[in-house]
Amino acid sequence: MDKALKFLGIGALVWLVLKNIGNSIVSKLSLSKVKIQNVNINLQGVSFKIIASVQNNSQISLPLQDFKGFVMYGQSVLTEVTLGSPEIIAAQSIVDIPFNSHIPINQLSNTIISMIESGQWLNSLYLEGTIYSEGISIPVSKAIISV
């Protein structure tokens, strides 16, 4: 019985320490701004590059192991966005992470039709997703264009 209590106590202590470390990373890593560049419209759809500025306010370098998210227009998903390769965000710095994106023409036309039918065509364009760093998930939502 004593061994079980000691084991549970040590487990709870380890969990608290890891939770505090995780909360520290979550509060130090964020998106400071998002912008769109190199827009190209053709018969296949709209291609563009998203530049997400990831800010690390901690005293140590943090790995950005993955990002999974979407470019949203209001409640409509326009395209999926994923990180091409892991990045290291140096301590006290901001790093611009590029994402190449493409919205197929049929998906874009369906989104436009849905917006017209619902009467909600004045919405913000934003990047929404999750940053993954050291096994910790950090949800982010940042406007690209606000209405």
Higher pLDDT, 29 or 41: 41
Higher pLDDT, 9 or 84: 84
Check residue 7 and give its pLDDT: 56
Q: Is the pLDDT of residue 128 over 80?
A: yes
- Label residue 69 exposed, middle or buried (CB < 10 Å: 0-12, 13-18, 19+): buried
Check residue 2 and give its pLDDT: 66
Question: Whose CA is closest to 69, among 19, 112, 31?
Answer: 31
Check residue 3 and give its pLDDT: 66
Check residue 113 and give its pLDDT: 81
DSSP 67-82: EEEEEEETTEEEEEEE
Q: What is the pTM of this model?
A: 0.67
Check residue 108 and give its pLDDT: 79
Q: How many CA atoms lie within 13 A of 117 on its CB side?
A: 6
Mean model confidence pLDDT for the chain: 78
The DSSP 8-state label assigned to residue 121 in this structure reads: -
pLDDT in tens, 71-109: 888 788 888 888 878 888 888 888 888 888 888 888 878
Indicate the domain borders of the chain: 29-145
Check residue 8 and give its pLDDT: 59
Q: Which long-range contacts (CB under 8 A, 24 or more apart) does 38-44 make?
A: 43/105, 44/102, 44/104, 44/105
The rounded distance, in Å, linking the Cα atoms of 114 and 61 is 43
Q: What is the mean pLDDT of residues 60-67?
A: 83
Q: Is the pLDDT of residue 19 over 80?
A: no
List, in sequence order, every residue forming a beta bridge with 132; answer none if it has no partner. Answer: 66, 137
- Label residue 36 exposed, middle or buried (CB < 10 Å: 0-12, 13-18, 19+): middle
Structure tokens at 60: 């140590």
Q: Is the pLDDT of residue 23 over 80?
A: no
Check if CATH label 2.60.40.10 holds for domain 29-145: yes
Instruction: Give the total residue count for the chain.
Output: 147
Check residue 21 and give its pLDDT: 53
